[in-house]
Amino acid sequence: MPVRPPHPRRRRASVSMPATIEFAQVDKRFGNGVAALQALSVAIAAGQFVSLLGPSGCGKSTVLRLIAGLEQATAGQVRVDGRPAHPGAAAMSYVFQEPTLMPWASALDNVALPLRIQGMRRRPARENALEALAAVGLADRAAAYPAELSGGMKMRTSIARALITRPEVLLLDEPFAALDEITRHRLNDELLALWGELGSTAVFVTHSVFEAVYLSQRVLVMGGRPGRLIADLPVALGYPRAPTLRLQPQFTQHCASVTEALQLAEADAGAADP
Amino acid sequence: MASPRATRVIPSAAGIAALLLWEAVVRLRGIPPYILPSPSLIAHTLWDNLDSLLVSWWYTVKITFGALALALAGGVLLACAFALSRTLELALFPFAIALQVTPIVAIAPLILIYVDSTTASLLICAFIVAFFPVLSNTLIGLRSADPNLRDLLTLYGATRWQRLRWLLAPSALPYLIAGLKISGGLALIGAVVAEFAAGAAGRETGLASRILEASFRTEIPKMYAALTLVALTGVAIYLASNALSRALLGRWHPMHFNAGGD
């Protein structure tokens, strides 16, 4: 795999083309017979920020894993950049709900990991990692180990690691769910700023209506089980978005319509999940 | 939680207190040395026989560390092989368990018959006792890597070697060290027990032979002197493995964090 030159601070123009993601009549059934997705068809435009919202167990994470190529569709096709999804099909990064850092390595070495795997030598990888940590405001904590960092700092490190490869596709699986509201709001803004610079296609799984509306250009509401698309709602709010947006009527209106769709999804799912 | 200073002072203070109590009881009660020698007499005997005892001690130490090195190499290699091949694990693990559960005193006489060199048979016995904890712990460690990190490495297209280097080996290390802590003590026990089974024959002999020899002559203080060396060696191995653990894991593993962490 060729090493792509990572310069986390550079402007949108220099970025590799973000990828288009397409689901065509995708079914996913697990080995134990559980149907996770049924006839899911959706297309996500290159560079779009999309949120996946829905009750637990509706297959949101499965959608991310299918895009990443970590799972294979039982029927139908998942395409990234026009090619069938498989690990390494496009430059992709994944941010999990847990920071998922290597506890035995410093923040710097954790962030450098993707570059090291791509074959970059230790020193340039660390230089890039320091830049990426600086972009999330953690340059002064580069030598700290995960156990020495707060929850928010760990998640920032995890995001820096995800961005260091300048991914075409950024997959985020409830990354801020475990954080307190203040930290979560701050990280929302930081994520938007970084996404604005990179121009990646971002797919963000969340349980929070407000987070989905605040971050994305489009909210996909899913219902279960098996998981399928209930509503596809555009968010007609421009970028950059400021925290004061949360107080404005058009934000509240969007939240109301997404909530309505979510209630529909939940009613549809019935007693699917406790 | 005890302060770092207390964790150093309390064990030594307790040890010294126990020795003083022992000394006092022996003296005040007038217990004869052939029943229970006092610590001072044991120390004296140890000093008088130091040269010859140290030769035996060195022999036991060589067997112990030789066996431990073999156990480490064998256990880690076998664990890696098992982690790569489920078939191999299913086929060979029963043998490892059988070796582990059969008492070494029962196997030692056979090994002594089959193997010409006493040193080699002692080494084999001590190895058999010591290797299972390394194997079993390392295997668990290799399997306990964070599944999300596994996925992440898959996503970035890591090779098998990179997976081992960046994820599996560091994940297994705390488990390996825990196994090594157990195996260190077991290797010493194996070396001593096997020598008991071998009897005091041969020119090159370890501490077990000296204990046997002294017991034949009912030299109780000398038995205690040799025993003291065995015990001190065991404690030293334990402390060394703790130091190794701290050096390798101290910065990141919760085991080594002081109170109030997180």
The answer, for A1 touching chain B at a CB cutoff of 8 Å, is yes
Nearest residue of A to residue B262, measured between CA atoms: A147
**What was the pLDDT predicted at A89?**
67
Question: How close B1 comes to chain A (CA, Å)?
Answer: 19
Q: Please, where are the H alpha helices in chain B?
A: 4-29, 39-48, 50-84, 86-101, 104-114, 118-143, 147-155, 160-163, 169-198, 207-216, 220-249
Interface pTM (ipTM) of the complex? 0.86
Sequence spans of domains, chain A: 30-91+167-274, 93-165
pLDDT of A196 reads: 92
Q: Do A88 and B157 touch (CB under 8 A)?
A: yes
Contact between B238 and B187 under an 8 Å Cβ cutoff? The reply is: no
Q: Compute CA distances A163 → A86, A128, A144, A154, B240, whole Å.
A: 20, 11, 19, 14, 42
Architecture in CATH for domain A30-91+167-274? 3-Layer(aba) Sandwich (3.40)
Three-class SS of residue B138?
helix
- What backbone phi and psi angles, to 5 degrees, belong to B145? -65, 145
**pLDDT at residue number A148:** 92
What is the mean pLDDT of the segment spanning B211-216?
90
Task: Sort out which chain A residues have CB atoms less than 8 A from B252's CB and list them.
Answer: 103-105, 145-147
Rounded CA gap, B262 and B259, in Å?
A: 9
Judge whether residue B108 has pLDDT over 60.
yes
Phi, psi of A169 (to 5 degrees): -125, 130
The whole-number average pLDDT for the span B109-135 is: 92
**A94 vs B151, B166, B249: nearest CB:** B151
**In chain B, what are the domain boundaries?**
38-254
The fold adopted by the segment(s) B38-254 is MetI-like fold (1.10.3720)
Strand partners, A29: A35
Count chain A–chain B contacts defined by CB atoms under 8 A.
60
Higher per-residue confidence, A254 vs B6: A254
DSSP string across A106-169: -HHHHHHHHHHHTT--HHHHHHHHHHHHHHTT-GGGTT--GGGS-HHHHHHHHHHHHHTT--SE
Summarize pLDDT for B77-93 with one digit per residue, the tens: 999 999 888 899 999 98
Of the residues A61, A98, A100, A117, the best mutation for testing chain B's interface (the one with the most B CB atoms within 10 Å of its CB) is: A117
Structure confidence at residue B126 as a pLDDT band (50, 70, 90): very high
pLDDT of residue A270: 58
Torsion of CA A114, A118, A121, A125, to 10 degrees: -30
Pick from A267-271, B5-9, B14-18: least confident: A267-271
From residue B107, alpha-carbon distances to A218, B76, B124 in Å are 71, 24, 10
pTM of the entire structure? 0.82
CA B78 – CA B95 distance, rounded (Å)? 12
Strands (E), A20-112: 21-29, 35-44, 49-53, 75-80, 83-84, 92-95
Of A55, A89, A119, give the one whose Cα is nearest residue A262. Answer: A55
Q: Is the pLDDT of residue B261 over 60?
A: no
Which positions of chain A have pLDDT values less than 70?
Answer: 1-17, 89, 269-274
Are the Cβ atoms of A117 and B253 closer than 8 angstroms? Answer: no
pLDDT digits (tens, 9 = 90+) for B173-188: 999 999 999 999 999 9
Residue A141 carries which side chain, given as an amino acid letter? R
Nearest-CA distance from B148 to chain A in Å? 7
**Residue B203 predicted with pLDDT over 70:** no
A103 neighbors A148 (Cβ within 8 angstroms): no
Percent of chain B predicted with pLDDT > 90:
67
**Lookup result for tokens 């994940």:** B171
Complete DSSP assignment for B10-73: HHHHHHHHHHHHHHHHHHHHT--TTT---HHHHHHHHHHTHHHHHHHHHHHHHHHHHHHHHHHH
State how far the Cα of B124 lies from the Cα of B204, in Å rounded to an integer.
16
